[in-house]
Structure 1
Amino acid sequence: MGGATNWFDQGGANYARYRPDYPDVLAQALAELAPNRRLAVDVGCGNGQFTGLLAAHFEAVIGLDPSADQIAHAAPDARITYRCAPAEALAVEDGAASLITAAQAAHWFDLPAFYAETRRIAAPGAMIALVSYGVARLDPGPINDRLARFHDLDVGPFWPAERHMVENGYADIAFPFPPLAVPTMAIRRNWNTHQLLGYVGTWSAVRRAREAGQERKLTDFAADLIDLWGDPEQTRPISWPISVRAGTL
C-alpha cells in the first residue's frame, strides 16, 4: 500500500510529465479559422505549452500570464514574446491580434473585463477561442467506472468550484460573440497503470484530499485500479474530449 500512497505525493516535475497536452491539429484548426496568421495572443498561458503550439502556425505569438514564475519556466521560442500580465489588462497594443486564446484558464478570469480587453486588442475579424479538455475516459468497463467514481465521488468534494465550468466546456458562461464551429477532437494517450496514477496524482482535488486527511480514499483507489488493470505494464487507450468555445470578435 505504501507504493500506492507515493503516487499521490507528486511534485512539479510529475505535473509536467503526466498532464495531457493539446494536439497540434487544434492549433492548426484555430489558425485556419483566424483572419490571418500575423499575431496570436495566448492568455493565461502558464508555462507556454499551448503557446508553443500556436507558434508553429503564426508569424508571432504573445503569451500572457499573471505569474512571473510560470513565465520564467516557459520554453524560449524566437516567435514568442512572454509578458507578465493578467487577463483583465492585456499587455498588447490595440487592434493587433488575429487570434486570442485561453486554454484551460478562462474560468479564473473576470470575464467582462477580459472580453473588453479582447475587443480592444482584436484586429478586424479576429477570433477568440476558450479551450478546455474534459474528464479522462477509458474504454467502457470496470476500470473506467472506478476512475469516474473516484473523480466524481471520492475526491469530488475537493474540486474547486470553478471546475464544473471546465468539465462542461464553458458551455454555460456568457460568450457574447458570433459563434464559430471548430472540428471535434480529443487528446489521446496509451498509458499503463503507473502513468495513469501519475496523472491522477496531479489533480488539485487529490492534493486537497490528502491535506484533509483523506489518504484512505486515495490508496483504496490505487489498489482497486491495480487489481482491475491486470498486467501493470499493459497500456490502455485514454482520451480527454476537447471543447472549444470560439467566436468572431
Structure 2
Amino acid sequence: MSSTPSGLKNWFDQGGQAYARFRPEYPAELAAYLASVAPDATLAVDVGCGNGQLTGQLAEHFTAVVGLDPSADQVAHATPRTNVDYQCAPAEQMPLADHSASLITAAQAAHWFDLPAFYAEVRRIARPSAVLALISYGVMRLDEGLDARFQQFYGQEIGPYWPAERRLVDSGYATLDFPFAPLAPPAMAIRLDWNLEEFLGYIATWSAVRRAREAGREDILHRFASDIADIWGDPASKQAISWPINMRIGRV
C-alpha cells in the first residue's frame, strides 16, 4: 500500500463530528426555484430538515419556515434564524395547522418516510395549489482520473455497506410513488472545489463508512484513501466536484 499524507486516516474516525462541516450546500437557485412555483410566500415546511441546510435557504424567500426532524440532536445544531421555527417531529405527524403550508420540501430524506402517512399529512397541511418537492442529490462526479477510482469505491467496495434505501437516492426517487400533478424542474447541480481533506471528510460522514468500520473493514477505507491521495497529488490542491440534483415535484 502506498503512503498517505499525514492525518488522512484520522478522517474516518471523525465523520460524525464533521457532518455539518462537510455536507455539501445546495445552490441558491434551488430555493429560488421552489419559491417561484409555490402559490405564495406564506409558509414553507422542510421535512427531515437535519441541521437546516435547505431550511435556512428557504428562509430567504418565505415569510416563515418550519424545519422538522425526528432527531433532536440535528435540530439542536441547526443555525437559528428569526423566521425559522425548528421542531423535533416525524414526517408522518407534522405539528402544523390544516391548509397552512405553501411549500413542503424533503431534501435527502424521503427514502426514510412512511410515504402513505407522509402524503396524508402533506394533503392535510397544504394550502390550495401548494407544492411538494422531494429532493435528492446523486452520486458525486470528479475529474476523469479521480472519478474512475471513486466510482469503483462507491459501487463495488463500500457499496455493500449502504442501506437498501440508498438505491432510491441514487435513482433520483424515480421509482417512488408520487401521486401529485408533476412539474418539470430545471437541471441543477451542486458544484464545489474541494481539497483532499474536504473530500475525505465528506466521505467520512457516510453511513456506509460507519457500517464498514463496524464490520471491521477499515482496510477498504484506508486503501481507498491511499489510492485517491496518490491520484490527487498535492493534498491542498482543489478539484472540481459535482452532484446532480434530482427532484420529484408537483402540486398537491
TM-score of the alignment, normalized to the shorter chain, above 0.5: yes
Q: Which residue is equivalent to 1:70?
A: 74
Q: Indicate conservation of the 8 Å contact 1:30/1:182, yes or no.
A: no
Q: Which amino acid aligns with 1:188?
A: R
1:47 is aligned to 2:51: yes
CA deviation profile, 1:181-228 (whole Å, cap 9, x unmatched): 111111111112121111111111111111111111111111111111
Cα distance in 2 for residues equivalent to 1:197 and 1:113? 37
Q: Which amino acid aligns with 2:42?
A: R
Q: Which residue is equivalent to 1:189?
A: 192
Q: Which amino acid aligns with 1:220?
A: R
Match of 1:83 among 68, 87, 112: 87
Q: Which amino acid aligns with 2:139?
A: V
Counterpart mapping for 1:24-173 below 5 A: 24-139=28-143, 141-173=144-176
Cα distance in 2 for residues equivalent to 1:242 and 1:29? 13
Cα distance in 2 for residues equivalent to 1:4 and 1:100? 39
Post-superposition offset of 1:19: 1.0
Q: Which residue is equivalent to 1:214?
A: 217
CA deviation profile, 1:39-69 (whole Å, cap 9, x unmatched): 1011111121111110000011111112222
Runs of 4+ in 1 over 2 A off after TM superposition: 1-5
Q: Which amino acid aligns with 2:222?
A: T
Post-superposition offset of 1:5: 2.2
Q: Which stretch shows the higher mean deviation, 116-125 or 197-206?
A: 197-206
Q: Which amino acid aligns with 1:182?
A: P
Post-superposition offset of 1:3: 3.4
SS at match of 2:231: helix
CA RMSD of aligned residues (A): 1.2
SS at match of 1:52: helix
Cα distance in 1 for residues equivalent to 2:213 and 2:100? 45
Q: Which stretch shows the higher mean deviation, 72-81 or 153-162?
A: 72-81
Cα distance in 2 for residues equivalent to 1:22 and 1:213? 33
Q: Which amino acid aligns with 1:115?
A: Y
State the identity as a percent: 62
Q: Which residue is equivalent to 1:227?
A: 230
Q: Indicate conservation of the 8 Å contact 1:65/1:71, yes or no.
A: yes
Match of 1:19 among 23, 26, 30: 23
Q: Indicate conservation of the 8 Å contact 1:62/1:83, yes or no.
A: yes
Q: Indicate conservation of the 8 Å contact 2:55/2:67, yes or no.
A: yes
Unaligned runs of 5+ residues in structure 2 are none
Unaligned runs of 5+ residues in structure 1 are none
SS at match of 1:12: coil
Q: Indicate conservation of the 8 Å contact 1:143/1:225, yes or no.
A: yes
Q: Indicate conservation of the 8 Å contact 1:192/1:234, yes or no.
A: yes
Post-superposition offset of 1:239: 0.3
- TM-score scaled by structure 2? 0.95
Q: Which amino acid aligns with 2:245?
A: I
Q: Which stretch shows the higher mean deviation, 80-89 or 120-129?
A: 80-89
SS at match of 1:124: strand
Cα distance in 2 for residues equivalent to 1:226 and 1:116? 48
Q: Which residue is equivalent to 2:178?
A: 175
Post-superposition offset of 1:147: 0.5
CA deviation profile, 1:75-94 (whole Å, cap 9, x unmatched): 11111112221111111100
Cα distance in 2 for residues equivalent to 1:192 and 1:86? 36
